[in-house]
Amino acid sequence: MKQKIFLVFFSMILVCSMLAGCKKSVGTPEDNAVVEEDPEEEEEDTGYVFGYSCIDMENPYFDTLRRSLENTLGENEYQLISKDSGSDAQAQNEQLEELIEMEVDAVFLCPVDWEMVTPALEALQAAGIPVINIDTQVKEESLTKAYIGSDNRNAGYVCGEDLKKRCPDGGKILLLESPSMNSINERITGFEQAIANAGFEVLDRADVNGEKEKAKETMEEFLKKYPEIDAVMCGNDRAALGTLEAVRESAREGIRIYGVDGSPEVKQEIAKADSPMTATGAQSPIRIGKEAAEIGIAILDGENFETTTYEDTFLIDKGNVEMYGTDGWQ
């Protein structure tokens, strides 16, 4: 009997000892050092994220500019976050604040209003986010790192030179402009310089904000007001297309329409023998976007870059439109 009790007691001690051996964390950490497996180190994300804020993405020019930026940044595996202000300066400022909150590395900016964007520029600078100003210059250039755009004054100038050749004795003209956009101001200034002292009379001028519908409405009023109009200079191709619709619906003839951009829609009109669309001061959003993206990357990489870049502009008319093609941007 005593032998059985001893065996049972011995067995219990043995089981307790085995259970104790299975415990992992008894006593101090030094007594129970646990070697944990190292988790796989996550690959550090070194890709830049850029923001893009433009005037109005419904304008094919700005959408083409966006795609050019995306293509060049994508080649380097960088990202682009796009914001469309819809020609609303206040909305653009709010969207730029959103980009600050998203902690983007840099911003590409086409301002709706070259002055009203200043508070957002100041906020971007305070956040340490560099701004690459493209297409339309801001008033406070010191708040941006670089500017990339077209030679806008020349774009208007070549249109004026063309009109002088077509109307050597001068004529009566209209100007559809946009004082809040410095790029359009430059185009109109270049046009006026070209036709100065050449017998032209400016019948009227109006702010159409570069918008097609507003240009159409304004031109409809001008057609009622002025029985004789020889030419209309528009600050961009969108305004020129709105002007074209108004002229066609009025059945008025002999009016020459000029735009600036070199958009596919306007080139298609120029190619038509009977179209009032005479010419456009062409620019290249594809080249501008590529150049801007490369400069943006250089800024973030701490490399040298050009602070001001002007891309060439040139005239497209019926004589050379087929050379540039009518189904895309140059």
Q: What is the pLDDT of residue 191?
A: 98
Q: pLDDT tens digits, residue range 269-306?
A: 999 999 999 999 999 999 999 999 999 999 999 999 99
Q: Is the pLDDT of residue 21 over 90?
A: no
Distance CA 51, CA 137 (A): 17
The token pair that represents 169 in the structure block: 């004795």
- Write the DSSP string, 308-330: EEEE--EEEETTTHHHH-SSS--
Per-residue pLDDT, averaged over 130-139, amounts to 96
Query: For the ranges 30-34, 59-63, 171-175, which has the lowest average pLDDT?
Result: 30-34
Q: Is the pLDDT of residue 25 over 70?
A: no
Beta strand 231-234 pairing with 256-261? parallel
Q: pLDDT tens digits, residue range 190-212?
A: 999 999 999 999 999 999 999 99
Distance CA 117, CA 92 (A): 8
Distance CA 247, CA 43 (A): 60
Distant-in-sequence, close-in-space partners of 251: CB < 8 Å, separation ≥ 6: none
| Alpha-carbon dihedral 298, 300, 306, 309, rounded to 10 degrees | 100
Q: What is the pLDDT of residue 16?
A: 37
Binned at pLDDT 50, 70 and 90, residue 30 comes out as very low
Q: Is the pLDDT of residue 1 over 80?
A: no
Q: What is the pLDDT of residue 9?
A: 38
Q: Is the pLDDT of residue 6 over 60?
A: no
- Write the DSSP string, 27-52: S-TTTT---PPPPPPPPP----EEEE
Q: pLDDT tens digits, residue range 243-277?
A: 999 999 999 999 999 999 999 999 999 999 999 99
The token pair that represents 266 in the structure block: 């306007």
What mean pLDDT is reported for the chain?
A: 89
- 174 and 224 in contact (C-beta within 8 Å)? no
- 309 and 295 in contact (C-beta within 8 Å)? yes
Q: Is the pLDDT of residue 19 over 90?
A: no
- 216 and 245 in contact (C-beta within 8 Å)? yes
Provide the residue type at 150 as one letter: S
